[in-house]
Amino acid sequence: MATMADVARVAGVSTATVSHVINGTRTVREETRQVVQAAIAETGYSPNTLARSLATGGSRSIAVVMSAISNPYFGQVLQGIESEAVRQGYTLLLADPRDDPDHELTVARSMHERRVDGVILAPSAEPARALEYLDAQRVPVVLTDRLSDDRYDQVGPDNAEPTAMLVDHLAELGHTRIAMVSGLGGLTTTEERLRGYRDGLARNGIGFDEQLLVEGASESERATRVTAGLLARPDAPTAVIAANNSMTIGAMRAISEAGLRVPDDVALVGFDDFPWADWFSPRLTVIAQPSAEIGTTAARLLLRRIADPDSSPRTHRLESSLIHRNSCGCP
């Protein structure tokens, strides 16, 4: 069975350097890290995770608490988290809080009981109890996607300006009856995208009509129902903005069930890109978030926090981009 000394000999480094690479106990140059990892692969060395945990007092595991199971966007964020965590020698525990504050607290307790070294959390609309619990247990936390508290490290997308850009684009195409299907109430992403919607209307000289703003609760089925209500109005909108990927699907279903066509009868744009958006007919015009980069950044922030618990918290806003296809009515 290969030992750490065997890895050090093949890599041409000291056993201490091998230990730092495996355990993340000291910064190692990337070139050296790659040489050591190649030596580990060549020798077939397998670190004793239990022994490491006993020696360092950590589990080399981090919890990811987000709705990854039910939301394709979070699945892409999770890929970014996993890539960076594995590179740094950590494993992941995943839990879905269901955007429910009570279940969120239950999950926080469960993850602490499993001795995770830190938590990456996409907070619910009311995350205070879960955060207070984790703080009391001195568990490092990074908030992702929903930036709600600058006392914590947090990373997420810009939401307001990209939503306003969708309004700009529809206004340039001549639309003045622009509806929005908003997300779950209380989430910071919902509030920011609503602000962007109203800002976009204002800067294009379009008055805000509260009848054109409906809540889809970030769910496809709810979005189908509320979009159907919009389309049944005598002064129905000529364009619809859906505030996440699930609601975009729901809105498209409602338009089809109403016997209408996108974009001939109703233009449709959305917030969140997803792999099959380019294969819809028509192809969907959307705002694309840097999902994997959000995940990678969240993991790096958490690992920095674990290594240096007293460092000042950081907030990262990453830019989103408009993916111009033809559900908006452009050729």
pLDDT in tens, 247-261: 999 999 999 999 999
Same domain, 273 and 296: no
Residue 87 covered by a domain: yes
Same domain, 185 and 229: yes
- Residue 286 has what pLDDT? 97
When mean pLDDT is compared across 17-31, 172-186, 206-220, the lowest value belongs to 17-31
Residue 324 covered by a domain: no
What is the span of the domain harbouring residue 188?
A: 160-289
Same domain, 254 and 295: no
Helices 49-56 and 15-23: crossing angle in degrees, nearest 10, is 90
Residue 64: partners with Cβ closer than 8 Å, 6 or more residues away: 78, 81, 92, 93, 94, 95, 119, 120
Same domain, 124 and 229: no
Residue 63 covered by a domain: yes
**Does residue 33 register a pLDDT over 80?**
yes
pLDDT in tens, 133-170: 999 999 999 999 999 899 999 999 999 999 999 999 99
- Residue 43 has what pLDDT? 85
**Does residue 22 register a pLDDT over 50?**
yes
Query: Could you tell me if 274 and 246 are in contact, meaning their C-beta atoms sit under 8 angstroms apart?
Result: no
* CATH code: domain of residue 305: 3.40.50.2300
Give CA–CA dist 321/69, Å, rounded: 25
The percent of residues in the chain predicted with pLDDT above 90, rounded, is 75
- Residue 50 has what pLDDT? 46
Q: What is the average per-residue pLDDT within 105-125? A: 95
Same domain, 109 and 178: no
Same domain, 75 and 139: yes
- Residue 69 has what pLDDT? 67
Q: What is the average per-residue pLDDT within 271-277? A: 85
pLDDT in tens, 306-323: 999 999 999 999 999 999
**Does residue 49 register a pLDDT over 90?**
no
pLDDT in tens, 187-232: 999 999 999 999 999 999 999 999 999 999 999 999 999 999 999 9
Mean pLDDT taken over the chain: 91
Residue 326 covered by a domain: no
Same domain, 134 and 167: no
Residue 25 covered by a domain: yes
Radius of gyration of the chain (CA): 23
Same domain, 40 and 144: no
* CATH code: domain of residue 18: 1.10.260.40
- Residue 309 has what pLDDT? 93
Number of domains in the chain: 3
**Does residue 270 register a pLDDT over 50?**
yes
Query: Could you tell me if 76 and 64 are in contact, meaning their C-beta atoms sit under 8 angstroms apart?
Result: no
| 70 pLDDT tier (thresholds 50, 70, 90) | low
Cα–Cα nearest to 242, from 183, 322, 172, 187: 183
Same domain, 29 and 101: no
Residue 301 covered by a domain: yes
- Residue 15 has what pLDDT? 82
Residue 23 covered by a domain: yes
**Does residue 34 register a pLDDT over 50?**
yes
- Residue 288 has what pLDDT? 96
Please list the alpha-helical segments (H only) found in the chain: 4-11, 15-23, 30-43, 49-56, 72-87, 101-113, 128-136, 160-172, 188-203, 220-231, 245-257, 291-307
Q: What is the average per-residue pLDDT within 95-109? A: 94
Same domain, 40 and 86: no
Q: What is the average per-residue pLDDT within 113-118? A: 94
- Residue 24 has what pLDDT? 66
